[in-house]
Structures are given as structure tokens and as C-alpha cells.
């Protein structure tokens, strides 16, 4: 199939969250299944800085959004993964280094920004692809591209052509693209669509809601999360709308790109290893301890938290639990991520009282994160909710046992270990409390002393979390709606 795949971030060029890894891995896996995938992104300034060669199309796209007209320059490129890519440049709108903005003014004009991007995608979708065949399908992601199904349908009606099918993937229902209703005329959307059955949402407008109503199929990034969003609180007030589309809602777990996350070939590590011989993981642990300034003692449990320092990720639970964990165990802790200044201050204060047994690293590079996975014995994922989560799957590949809260995709990818470590792929705690988290960590530390521990490490490293299985599930969705 010919598939247009619009995203607002993609590794290694622009990364804010897990969408960037999905945008890098899933299209590549779909291509290996024989589909022609074309990635579409805004033309961020850093693309050429990273060595990407862009070929400018001579004919720009003229986009009319209400009373405003934009001229979008289109660039073609071939990614190192051999995927075709299209980059859209609209000066003043899509040429910012941060996809979603960092200042209040950025957020205020995100509605016209991403509406213009979505309109440009719809124009491209109704053109012919470079291979000469029309696009069969447009696979959009989250609220910034959730207006694409609407624009595709409207343009197809105007031009009396058949509209390509659309799939909307919800990576996190908490982010919906909500704006005041006053911006509606700037989006080229008629007021007749400002209804309960349209884009209206509690007196304002909601991009994600409109996409959910109009897409031919909807996916979330794990089966458990697909069930969770049909009710409160995980539906984030969209549970009613999502329930009306339940028949076309699918949960598909994300995958891992083993050309990037693989300790057997990872250039970031001081020593490489695999499931059949993981002895060099000890060398990686010692090297990480020295790099962080921790006591270089590979017998001590080393626990890591890797993720955004925000309430969703449950980092506040870990901060509250840290003093008791330092008293109850001999473990060392490394916390890695970035977030609001308030959250950073809290985590910095907690670490400063650890007596040198806890380290916080803010805004690390990818290579350092890989070294953390390789050096850690455990990776803690105490998320309040987690649509899929990639950290726990990356940890498993590197032989770091995940310790997770029972929610969303964490349930779908981590099976709680039994007392003898004969079954299971990590440690799971049900209650979202400090006491439950501490209990799970103490259980995990005790389990590490068992003779079966190396077998557990080998078992989780052998898990197949690659993108092929997920890509085949998406392929099924594509073919299902193509026949409808």
C-alpha cells in the first residue's frame, strides 16, 4: 500500500517523547513488509544541521485557511533508513526548533500552526506519490495532525475524487489540542462543525476529538490502554466519544528498533554483550558508576529512572520513597530526565540528601541513556498511567529488569515474576502508593540475590519486542479499512 505517515517528531532528528521513536521504527518495519511509506514532517531548522539533504520542489503549495493564505514550500528527502520523506516549510509557523513551542505565545498559535500543517498534508494526500500511485491511506498521530481526516474529506468532496482512508493513532489521550472557539475561523472550518457531534468540546474546540470522530480507524499504543481510554480517568473526558468508535478502535503495542537499542552492537557502551553471554554487563555497570561518581561496587544494586520528570511518570512517588529506600537497602540510584523547574528542584533536593548514593542527570543525550540501560540492574517505571511505554522494553533488551506500576502498556509488556524467578519478565506493583513502590523495590532487591537471577536476565533479553509484530498488526488495520 501507498501510505502517507505525517508526524511532528521523529528520531534522531527531533525528539520530545515516544512518538519520535515510533516514527523512526514503525515506518521502517512497514516498508520491510512491502509497503511504500512516506514520512511527512515540518521542516525544522535542525534537519540540515544533522546532515539531511533536502531537495526543494519548484511548485509551492498554496493553502487558504479562512481569511489567511499560506505558501508552503515542499522538500523531498531520502532518510538513512531508505524511507521517502517530505518536509513542509511555512515561514513563521513550521520553522521553529521546538515542535510544540516553549513560550506562551507559541501555544497560543499552535491551532493555526498545526491546522496549516494538516491542510498541507491533505493536499499532499490527494496528489500522486513519487512512485506514481495514489496514496491509499494517511496514518496520522495525536492531536497535531488529527484534523487531517477532516481536510482530506473536504478536499476530496470539492474535487470530486475519492479520499484516501485515514488512521489516527493516539499516543496519549491527555494531549488533545484544545483551543478557544474563537480560533475556528482561522482553521478554515465552518461554524456548522462546531457541534457536539463535531469539533466542539466544552465550549471550545478539540482537535483530537474531531479526528476520533472522522478517522476510518483509531489505534492506541497498547491493548490495555485501548480499554482504559473507554472510561474515566484515562479517557480524559473523551471516553464517551471514543466509546462511540469502539468498533474501529485497536490497541497495538509499540516495538523496539533493535538496530538502535541493542547491547550487542551499541557503540555507546564500553563493552558489548547479548543474551547468550551477558558477562560484559558488569563492566558496563562499573563504568557507569565511575562516570556518575558513585561508589564503584558492582555488587550493589543499581536502580535507574529514565523519563520525563512530570507527574504522569510517577517520579514524585520515587522522590518521596527515596529516603526510606536508602535506609532499607544498599541500592544506588540514577535518575535521568528533564521537566519543569519545580520538579527538577524537588528531585535535586532529594538527591542532595542521599549521601552520594543517588545521582540526577538532567537532559541527557541518547548515548548516555543507553549506558544507563546497560549499567542498571533495574529500571523503575512508576507511571500513574502509561499508554505503552518504551523504557521498560529498552531496559529488558539491555538486561535491566523493569519494575513497573500495573497500568496501560506496562501491563502488556511486563509479567510479574514469581518468588523463584521461574516465570515473569519484571516486577509489577498494583497500588499507586509510596508503600507499594517501596515493597516492590525491596522484593526486587531480594530477588537479585537468588541463584536464578541470571536466568531472569537472559529471559528478558531474549524477548522479541521488535517492530515486525506490531507492523503486521497495523497492516491488518490498513487492509481492513481499505476493504470498507
Confidence of residue 131 (pLDDT cuts 50, 70, 90): low
Confidence at residue 20, expressed as pLDDT on a 0 to 100 scale: 94
Confidence at residue 36, expressed as pLDDT on a 0 to 100 scale: 94
Q: Residue 146 burial by CB count (10 A; 0-12/13-18/19+): exposed, middle or buried?
A: buried
Q: Answer yes or no: are the C-beta atoms of 126 and 155 closer than 8 Å.
A: yes
Verify that 202 and 177 share a domain, yes or no: yes
Q: Calculate the dihedral angle through the C-alpha atoms of 19, 21, 23, 25, rounding to the nearest 10 degrees.
A: -150
Within a domain: 396: yes
Q: What is the CATH number of the domain that holds 327?
A: 3.40.50.2000
Residue-wise pLDDT tens digits, 281-300: 999 999 999 999 999 999 99
Distance CA 309, CA 106 (A): 22
CA distances from 403 to 428, 429, 443, 464 (A): 6, 8, 10, 19
Verify that 103 and 156 share a domain, yes or no: yes
Radius of gyration of the chain (CA): 23
Within a domain: 80: yes
Contacts of 64 (CB under 8 A, 6+ apart): 70, 188
Verify that 240 and 152 share a domain, yes or no: yes
Q: What percent of the chain has pLDDT over 90?
A: 82
DSSP string, 390-456: SHHHHHHHTTPEEEEESSHHHHHH--B--TTSSS-SBEEE-S-SHHHHHHHHHHHHHHTTSTTHHHH
Question: Structural domain tally of the chain?
Answer: 2
Verify that 186 and 294 share a domain, yes or no: no
Confidence at residue 395, expressed as pLDDT on a 0 to 100 scale: 98
Q: Answer yes or no: are the C-beta atoms of 309 and 336 closer than 8 Å.
A: no
Closest CA relative to residue 120, chosen from 80, 178, 61: 61
Place of cell 489505534: 219
Confidence at residue 103, expressed as pLDDT on a 0 to 100 scale: 61
Within a domain: 275: no
Verify that 219 and 112 share a domain, yes or no: yes
Angle at the Cα of 445 from the Cα atoms of 440 and 451, rounded to 5 degrees: 125
Confidence at residue 265, expressed as pLDDT on a 0 to 100 scale: 97
Confidence at residue 102, expressed as pLDDT on a 0 to 100 scale: 64
Verify that 298 and 378 share a domain, yes or no: yes
When mean pLDDT is compared across 76-80, 117-121, 292-296, 386-390, the lowest value belongs to 76-80
Within a domain: 270: no
C-alpha grid cell, residue 410:
506496562
Strands (E), 181-301: 200-201, 204-206, 217-220, 249-251
Residue-wise pLDDT tens digits, 241-275: 999 999 999 999 999 999 999 999 999 999 999 99
Distance CA 342, CA 350 (A): 13
Residue-wise pLDDT tens digits, 412-455: 999 999 999 999 999 999 999 999 999 999 999 999 999 999 99
- Mean pLDDT confidence for 183-211: 95
Residue-wise pLDDT tens digits, 311-364: 899 999 999 999 999 999 999 999 999 988 888 999 999 999 999 999 999 988
Verify that 385 and 417 share a domain, yes or no: yes
C-alpha grid cell, residue 399:
538486561
Verify that 182 and 326 share a domain, yes or no: no
Within a domain: 269: no
Closest CA relative to residue 150, chosen from 200, 115, 191, 112: 115
Within a domain: 274: no
Within a domain: 69: yes
Q: What are phi and psi of 427, to 5 degrees?
A: -120, 130
Verify that 368 and 352 share a domain, yes or no: yes
Within a domain: 59: yes
Confidence at residue 53, expressed as pLDDT on a 0 to 100 scale: 87
Write out the residue range of the structural domain in which residue 149 sits: 2-255+468-483
Verify that 419 and 362 share a domain, yes or no: yes
Confidence of residue 220 (pLDDT cuts 50, 70, 90): very high
- Mean pLDDT confidence for 387-404: 97
Verify that 143 and 41 share a domain, yes or no: yes
Question: What pairing do the DSSP bridges indicate for beta strands 378-381 and 401-405?
Answer: parallel
Place of cell 472557539: 181
- Mean pLDDT confidence for 8-34: 93
Q: Residue 232 burial by CB count (10 A; 0-12/13-18/19+): exposed, middle or buried?
A: exposed
Q: Answer yes or no: are the C-beta atoms of 143 and 175 closer than 8 Å.
A: yes
Distance CA 124, CA 120 (A): 6
Confidence at residue 129, expressed as pLDDT on a 0 to 100 scale: 55
Assess whether pLDDT exceeds 80 at residue 93: yes
Q: Residue 18 burial by CB count (10 A; 0-12/13-18/19+): exposed, middle or buried?
A: buried
Helices (H), 99-198: 104-108, 110-125, 148-159
Verify that 243 and 284 share a domain, yes or no: no
CA distances from 469 to 34, 253, 254, 263 (A): 14, 9, 9, 21
Assess whether pLDDT exceeds 90 at residue 98: no
Assess whether pLDDT exceeds 90 at residue 32: yes
Average pLDDT over all residues of the chain: 93
Confidence at residue 483, expressed as pLDDT on a 0 to 100 scale: 84
Amino acid at each position: 500500500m501507498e501510505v502517507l505517515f505525517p508526524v511532528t517528531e521523529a528520531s534522531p532528528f527531533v525528539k520530545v517523547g515516544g512518538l519520535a521513536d515510533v516514527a523512526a521504527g514503525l515506518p521502517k518495519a512497514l516498508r520491510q513488509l512491502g509497503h511504500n511509506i512516506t514520512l511527512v514532517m515540518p521542516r525544522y531548522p535542525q534537519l540540515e544541521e544533522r546532515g539531511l539533504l533536502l531537495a526543494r520542489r519548484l511548485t509551492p503549495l498554496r493553502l487558504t485557511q479562512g481569511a489567511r493564505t499560506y505558501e508552503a514550500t515542499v522538500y523531498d528527502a531520502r532518510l538513512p533508513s531508505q524511507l521517502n520523506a517530505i518536509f513542509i516549510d511555512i515561514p513563521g509557523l513550521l520553522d521553529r526548533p521546538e515542535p510544540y513551542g516553549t513560550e506562551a505565545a507559541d501555544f497560543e498559535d499552535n491551532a493555526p500552526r498545526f491546522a496549516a500543517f494538516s491542510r498541507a498534508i491533505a493536499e499532499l494526500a490527494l496528489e500522486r506519490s513519487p512512485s506514481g500511485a495514489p496514496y491509499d491511506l494517511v496514518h496520522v498521530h495525536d492531536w497535531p495532525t488529527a484534523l487531517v481526516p477532516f481536510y482530506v474529506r473536504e478536499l476530496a468532496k470539492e474535487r470530486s475524487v475519492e479520499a484516501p482512508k485515514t488512521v489516527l493513532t493516539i499516543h496519549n489521550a491527555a494531549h488533545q489540542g484544545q483551543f478557544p472557539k474563537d480560533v475556528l475561523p482561522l482553521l478554515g472550518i465552518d461554524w456548522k462543525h462546531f457541534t457536539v457531534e463535531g469539533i466542539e468540546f466544552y465550549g471550545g474546540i478539540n482537535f483530537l476529538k474531531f479526528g476520533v470522530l472522522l478517522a476510518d480507524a483509531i489505534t492506541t499504543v497498547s491493548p490495555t490502554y485501548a480499554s482504559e481510554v473507554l472510561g474515566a480517568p484515562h479517557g480524559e473526558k473523551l471516553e464517551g466519544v471514543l466509546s462511540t468508535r469502539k468498533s474501529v478502535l485497536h490497541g497495538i503495542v509499540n516495538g523496539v528498533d533493535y538496530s538502535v537499542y541493542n547491547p550487542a552492537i551499541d557503540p555507546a557502551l564500553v563493552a558489548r554483550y547479548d543474551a547468550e553471554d551477558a558477562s560484559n554487563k558488569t563492566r558496563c555497570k562499573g563504568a557507569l558508576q565511575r562516570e556518575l561518581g558513585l561508589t564503584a561496587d558492582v555488587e550493589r544494586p543499581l536502580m535507574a529512572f529514565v523519563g520525563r520528570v512530570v507527574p504522569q511518570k510517577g517520579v514524585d512517588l520515587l522522590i518521596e520513597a527515596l529516603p526510606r529506600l536508602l535506609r532499607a537497602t544498599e541500592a544506588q540510584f540514577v535518575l535521568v530526565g528533564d521537566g519543569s523547574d519545580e520538579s527538577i528542584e524537588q528531585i535535586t533536593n532529594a538527591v542532595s540528601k542521599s549521601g552520594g548514593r543517588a545521582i540526577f542527570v538532567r537532559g541527557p543525550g541518547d548515548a548516555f541513556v543507553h549506558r544507563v540501560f546497560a549499567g542498571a540492574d533495574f529500571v523503575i517505571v512508576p507511571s500513574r498511567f502509561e499508554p505503552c511505554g518504551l523504557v521498560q522494553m529498552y531496559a529488558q533488551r539491555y538486561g535491566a529488569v523493569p519494575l513497573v506500576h500495573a497500568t496501560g502498556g506496562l501491563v502488556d509488556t511486563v509479567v510479574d515474576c514469581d518468588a523463584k524467578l521461574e516465570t515473569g519478565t519484571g516486577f509489577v506493583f498494583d497500588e499507586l502508593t509510596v508503600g507499594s513502590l517501596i515493597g516492590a523495590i525491596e522484593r526486587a532487591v531480594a530477588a537479585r540475590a537468588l541463584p536464578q537471577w541470571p536466568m531472569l536476565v537472559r529471559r528478558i533479553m531474549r524477548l522479541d519486542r521488535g517492530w515486525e509484530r506490531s507492523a503486521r498488526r497495523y497492516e491488518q488495520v490498513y487492509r481492513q479499512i481499505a476493504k470498507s
